């Protein structure tokens, strides 16, 4: 066999090996990309209570150079009330992975406090308004609630830990109005939520604005006034999301701290109706009480 034939054989062998190697590498990196290159949402601990939603979002901004400027939360709750809630908010556009805390408005509390939330699905949608791109993360109600109430990292801690650009605040360039829908329930399941914004109950609540402002429980016109009662014991079970609702209703009894709510020492226990009102307003139903006999 001549030397040139041997050299040609070696060259062909090397080229085949190179092609196989490149194919293997591209397969490996493709798999890594599909496994680890997907945008990732992390729900964080809001440092401000109530309507605030904190989250971190990581994506490959060199591959997808978009400006992210909006987050939305959607509740699909076919077996409860309300059956659907959607809130969205704009913030300063981000061009690389970030973490931020956004005031979602009262719709966020309504969403968390929906009846039959455990059977609902929550979608978190992170969007680029300009490019018309959105990433959607679906999870069941209990998982979402657990992530929100159990989040440990704040925006600052997450930013530091992931070496992200510092968040410069979340003042919205355009304040998108909060939208909330109350749709019909699935026939035979649940009942309509009796709140003033539900068209089905509009007549019932007509003219009750004054009593709502005074801080008392809202009663339908003509309904007999509920009799007040004394409380034997009131307490908070684990799971408070520090929304402030209870303290707003009855601050002599409830005190909201940085990460939970407590009952004030020597809290008055003679206005059971207000304690009951606070318990009913608690979106995660952790306020418990017993009536005095």
Determine if 256 is a binding residue for ligand SF4 (CB under 6 A). yes
Judged by CB under 6 A, the residue of 66, 139, 236, 273 near ligand SF4 is 236
Quote the least distance from Cβ 254 to ligand SF4, whole Å: 6
Nearer to ligand SF4, 144 or 254 (CB): 254
234 forms part of the interface with ligand SF4 (CB under 6 A): no
Task: Please identify which residue in 41, 54, 104, 246 interacts with ligand SF4, judged by CB under 6 A.
Answer: 246
- Binding segment for ligand SF4 (CB under 6 A), chosen from 61-69, 124-132, 175-183, 254-262, is 254-262
Nearer to ligand SF4, 126 or 263 (CB): 263
For ligand SF4, the closer CB: 179 or 251: 251
Least Å distance between CB 116 and ligand SF4?
Answer: 18
In SS3 terms, the chain reads as CCHHHHHHHHHHHHHHHHHHHHHHHHHHHHHHHHHHCCCEEEEECCCCCCCEEEEEEECCCCCCCCCEEEEEEEEECCCCCCCEEEEEEEEEEECCCEEEEEECCCHHHHHHCCCCHHHCEEEEEEEECCCCEEEEEEEEHHHHHHHHHHCCCCHHHHHHHCCCCCCCCCCCCCCCCCEEECCCCCCCCCCCCCCCCCHHHHHHHCCCHHHHHCCCCCCCCCCCCCCCCCEEEEEECCCCCCCCHHHHHCCCCEEECCCCEEECCCCCCCCHHHHHHHHHHCCCCCEEEEECC
Asked if residue 284 binds ligand SF4 (CB under 6 A), the reply is yes
Q: Which of 87, 155, 234, 245 binds ligand SF4 (CB under 6 A)?
A: 245
| Interface ranges with ligand SF4 (CB under 6 A) | 236, 240-246, 254, 256, 261, 282-284, 286-287
């Amino acid at each position: 066999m001549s030397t040139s034939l041997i050299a040609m054989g070696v060259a062909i062998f090397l080229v085949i090996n190179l092609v196989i190697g490149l194919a293997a590498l591209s397969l490996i990196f493709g798999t890594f990309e599909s496994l680890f290159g997907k945008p990732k949402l992390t729900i964080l601990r809001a440092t401000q209570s109530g309507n605030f939603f904190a989250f971190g979002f990581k994506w490959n901004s060199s591959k997808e150079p978009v400006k992210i400027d909006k987050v939305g939360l959607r509740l699909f709750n076919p077996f409860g009330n309300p059956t659907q809630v959607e809130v969205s908010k704009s913030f300063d556009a981000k061009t690389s992975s970030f973490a931020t805390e956004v005031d979602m408005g009262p719709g966020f509390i309504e969403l968390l406090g929906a009846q039959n939330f455990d059977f609902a699905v929550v979608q978190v949608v992170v969007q680029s308004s300009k490019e018309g791109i959105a990433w959607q993360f679906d999870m069941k109600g209990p998982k979402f609630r657990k992530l929100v109430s159990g989040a440990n990292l704040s925006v600052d801690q997450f930013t530091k830990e992931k070496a992200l650009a510092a968040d410069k605040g979340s003042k919205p360039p355009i304040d998108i109005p909060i939208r909330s829908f109350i749709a019909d329930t699935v026939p035979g399941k649940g009942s309509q939520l009796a709140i003033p914004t539900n068209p089905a109950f509009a007549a019932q609540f007509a003219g009750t604005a004054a009593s709502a402002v005074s801080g008392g429980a809202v009663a339908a016109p003509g309904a007999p006034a509920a009799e007040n009662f004394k409380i034997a014991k009131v307490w908070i079970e684990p799971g408070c999301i520090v929304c402030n609702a209870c303290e707003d209703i009855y601050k002599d009894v409830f005190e909201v701290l940085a990460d939970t709510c407590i009952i004030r020492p020597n809290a008055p226990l003679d206005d059971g109706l207000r304690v009951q009102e606070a318990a009913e307003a608690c979106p995660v139903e952790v306020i418990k009480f017993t009536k005095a006999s």
